[in-house]
Structure 1
Amino acid sequence: MIRSCTMTLETWRLLDLGAIDPLETQIIYDMVAQGITEGESQNTIIICWPAEPLVSVGYFQEIEKDIDLEFCRENDIVVTRRVIGGGGVYLDDGQLFYQLIGRVDSPTTPKPIDAYYRKFLKAPVQAYRNLGIEAEFRPVNDIQVNDKKISGNGAGDVGDARILTGNMILDFDFEMMVKVLRVPSEKFRDKIYKSLKDRMSTILLETGSMPEKDEVKMDLIGLYEETLGIELEKGELSSWEKSRMLELRPKYKSDEWLHWRSGGRLDARTVRISATASVGTASHKAEGGLIRVTAEEVENEIKEIVISGDFFMLPSTAIGALENNLKGTTLSKDAILEKIKESYTEFDIDSPGVKPEDIADTIELAFEQR
């Protein structure tokens, strides 16, 4: 045990990995979730950071619309997609990652996602406060100081496991962040840069100095023991886990994985537009993130639809089921909303900050712009 706590619910493994291959920072928690599901891994907290920079896009994003892939290639920046939602982000060793992977039915893990975030983010909130930063939890899943974001967090379910990923931001490369984004013009990029500086902060900006990363790490580890009521035992990857990591690596580098959430299948090469068919696309900003819809209608019914964006949805596999359920639905707001609500019930969908009405509104907007 690293720090004593009053009541221990469970023993979790601690993987204190330090700097690791950038792609592996995104593969490892997926692998552990798979291992938990298959009985090969235990509940685990991972502490790490990337040895080299990378761009990580959310599970539901359309990468070609959000990330400047050409810039990333020219600058040798690794780009991959993660298994949980949220937006695209530039990551480097100025951040300390905490990744928690535990069984969904663990006594430590609240089922409602809002309660889960509140409980599992107590430790990083207190770690910031221990550095003299008046951080606070801000729903849906942010940690803020003076209305500025100082930690990015996301959660998702993979098999029988729930994953939380987040970061303690010691320093941040604002200029590189805006360079990796796909934007309509350089003037717009300047606006994004100013917006980022206005609404985001770091430990360095708040305190005027850089703390020792190891000290921040050890404080965070102890706080997780206290706030979750667990005992952490240092461990290593098993041979099974190392093998699964190697198996997953080609997937995380593949074009199929990078571009799977794409409206491209509804582009001009495949969409039939006539008196009885049309294609529409629209975006809508909900409390929980941006929703983007690309859809084809034939004779006033949805034939094909892609729902993407930087929101979160649990389980993540439900997005495909929702899209399939919407096919054949009459293009009326009431019918669309009813079908979405039915899907939320059928697949036990939880999308913090995104209501069925938000998705229905985006679909309606897509066809208003035909």
Structure 2
Amino acid sequence: MHGEFKVPGGKLVVVDLEVVDGRIRDFRLAGDFFLEPDDALAAIDAAIEGLPAETDARKLAAAVQAALPEGAVLLGFAPESVATAIRRAITTTTDWSDYEWELLHPGPLPANMHLALDEVLTQEVGEGRRRPTLRIWEWSERTVVIGSFQSVRNEVDAVEAEREGFRVVRRISGGGAMYIEPGSAVTYSLYVPGELVQGMTFADSYAYLDDWVIQALQGLGIDAVYKPLNDISSPTGKIGGAAQKRLGGGGVLHHVTMSYDMDGEKMSRVLRIGREKLSDKGTTSAAKRVDPLRSQTGLPREEIIERMLDTFRSLHGLAPGELTPEELAHAEQLVADKFGTEEWLHRVP
């Protein structure tokens, strides 16, 4: 069995192994990482040899860590990277290059239609009726999108939201609130088969699926980094955040919103951003929480999106696509039955 894991921002970790009578045999670690001293490689191989094939990633990483000689230096990877590569070798996994990727970039849509499309397209990819897809969002209305488990009244000042003309909606993924004005954000969704992130922890999958956009931002001259669990940041502040949802049919939704030109003062009135949340970001003012892409690039939003798509295309390939009539009809029905209902919006009051 063969497994590979490209560490986001790091090196490639490769493992080869056999499973005999339920145990890992003939284990070999390789890659373009840096490791000192030389005999640490043999120590890692010996630590994994003979472990049960069902050993989870946490225990595999602990075994690697325990086997390292005192003072060992790992550059470009970590014990957790080895564990991920092992789990990907033993389970059914795929890579970006195993798929033909499709791009969807329709015109502006209402917020609830965006959320319904996320559910529909994740199902379609998971069940094999659609190729893995990247969708760029265009917004037709001012919107606050709260996470699946957030409380409406805790997150949104209803009076200010109504005064400023913001629609409040709830998405299917967890995480925090998104504050959106048309033209002020860059939002995209990835709809991928579960096999692409099989064997990864949730934290690893966030970094793995965000790696292409980190490269795109760096190509724009932004010193962008991935900040666990789900933030994309630069030295001057947070750029955006990601969220995920995994559906029973096997599809994975990974979506990201990055600020292009945000009115932080208005955001601080519409959203209830408490001191505890701000302290987590290392700031004291909501207006300073998100560093807009425009201030860091000087480029129009449309050019930033095109440059991002160029990066994705160069890395993984990307062909233009269209939403099918069936997908649109299904999404419209979901808006009527779920996303547009008071029951869904206030399921956590």
> TM (normalized to structure 1)?
0.61
- Say whether the 8 Å CA contact 1:27–1:249 is kept in structure 2: yes
165, 184, 188: which one aligns with 1:98: 188
Say whether residues 1:43 and 2:129 are aligned partners.
no
**What secondary structure, in the 3-state scheme, does the structure 2 residue paired with 1:126 have?**
helix
The residue aligned with 1:257 is 344
**What secondary structure, in the 3-state scheme, does the structure 1 residue paired with 2:153 have?**
helix
The residue aligned with 1:130 is 219
Number of equivalenced pairs? 246
236, 239, 243: which one aligns with 2:322: 236
1:184 to 1:221, Cα distance in 2 relative to 1, 3 A: closer
**Residue segments in structure 1 that go unaligned for 5+ positions in a row:** 1-6, 263-370
Code of the aligned partner of 1:14:
L
169, 180, 186: which one aligns with 2:259: 169
**1:245 shift after superposition:** 0.9
**1:62 shift after superposition:** 1.2
Say which is worse superposed, 86-95 or 214-223, in terms of deviation: 214-223
- Fraction of identical pairs, as percent: 25
The residue aligned with 2:152 is 63
* CA distance in 2: counterparts of 1:42 and 1:60, whole angstroms: 29
The residue aligned with 2:302 is 214
* CA distance in 2: counterparts of 1:26 and 1:194, whole angstroms: 31
* CA distance in 2: counterparts of 1:71 and 1:34, whole angstroms: 36
Say whether residues 1:181 and 2:271 are aligned partners.
yes
- Say whether the 8 Å CA contact 2:273–2:286 is kept in structure 1: no
**1:194 shift after superposition:** 5.0
**1:128 shift after superposition:** 1.9
Say which is worse superposed, 195-204 or 33-42, in terms of deviation: 33-42
**What secondary structure, in the 3-state scheme, does the structure 1 residue paired with 2:100 have?**
strand
Say whether residues 1:11 and 2:97 are aligned partners.
no
* CA distance in 2: counterparts of 1:110 and 1:95, whole angstroms: 32
Say whether residues 1:145 and 2:234 are aligned partners.
yes
Code of the aligned partner of 2:184:
G
1:226 to 1:114, Cα distance in 2 relative to 1, 3 A: farther
Code of the aligned partner of 1:143:
I
* CA distance in 1: counterparts of 2:227 and 2:296, whole angstroms: 18
The residue aligned with 2:80 is none
- Say whether the 8 Å CA contact 1:178–1:193 is kept in structure 2: no
1:20 to 1:68, Cα distance in 2 relative to 1, 3 A: same
* CA distance in 1: counterparts of 2:130 and 2:158, whole angstroms: 34
The residue aligned with 1:72 is 161
Code of the aligned partner of 1:164:
H
Deviations 1:226-263 (CA, angstroms, capped at 9, x unpaired): 44xx332211111210111111112212111011124x
* CA distance in 1: counterparts of 2:159 and 2:190, whole angstroms: 33
**1:109 shift after superposition:** 6.0
Mapping for residues 310-349 of structure 1, pairs under 5 Å: none
Code of the aligned partner of 2:168:
V
The residue aligned with 2:334 is 248
* CA distance in 2: counterparts of 1:166 and 1:9, whole angstroms: 23
* CA distance in 2: counterparts of 1:73 and 1:21, whole angstroms: 16
* CA distance in 2: counterparts of 1:200 and 1:37, whole angstroms: 33
* CA distance in 2: counterparts of 1:218 and 1:184, whole angstroms: 35
**1:82 shift after superposition:** 0.4
* CA distance in 1: counterparts of 2:126 and 2:348, whole angstroms: 24
**What secondary structure, in the 3-state scheme, does the structure 2 residue paired with 1:46 have?**
strand
**Residue segments in structure 2 that go unaligned for 5+ positions in a row:** 1-95
Code of the aligned partner of 2:293:
I
The residue aligned with 2:60 is none
Code of the aligned partner of 2:341:
S
The residue aligned with 1:53 is 142
Deviations 1:116-135 (CA, angstroms, capped at 9, x unpaired): 12221122212222222211
* CA distance in 2: counterparts of 1:56 and 1:214, whole angstroms: 22
Deviations 1:106-154 (CA, angstroms, capped at 9, x unpaired): 4x66632222122211222122222222111111111111162111211
> TM (normalized to structure 2)?
0.64
**What secondary structure, in the 3-state scheme, does the structure 1 residue paired with 2:120 have?**
helix
- Say whether the 8 Å CA contact 2:178–2:257 is kept in structure 1: no
**1:221 shift after superposition:** 1.7
Query: After TM superposition, which residue ranges in structure 1, 4 or more long, deviate above 4 angstroms?
Result: none
The residue aligned with 1:276 is none
* CA distance in 1: counterparts of 2:247 and 2:306, whole angstroms: 28
Instruction: Give the structure, 1 or 2, with the largest relative contact order (CA under 8 Å, sep 6 or more).
Output: 1
1:216 to 1:205, Cα distance in 2 relative to 1, 3 A: closer
* CA distance in 2: counterparts of 1:116 and 1:193, whole angstroms: 27
Say whether residues 1:201 and 2:291 are aligned partners.
yes
Q: CA RMSD in A?
A: 2.6
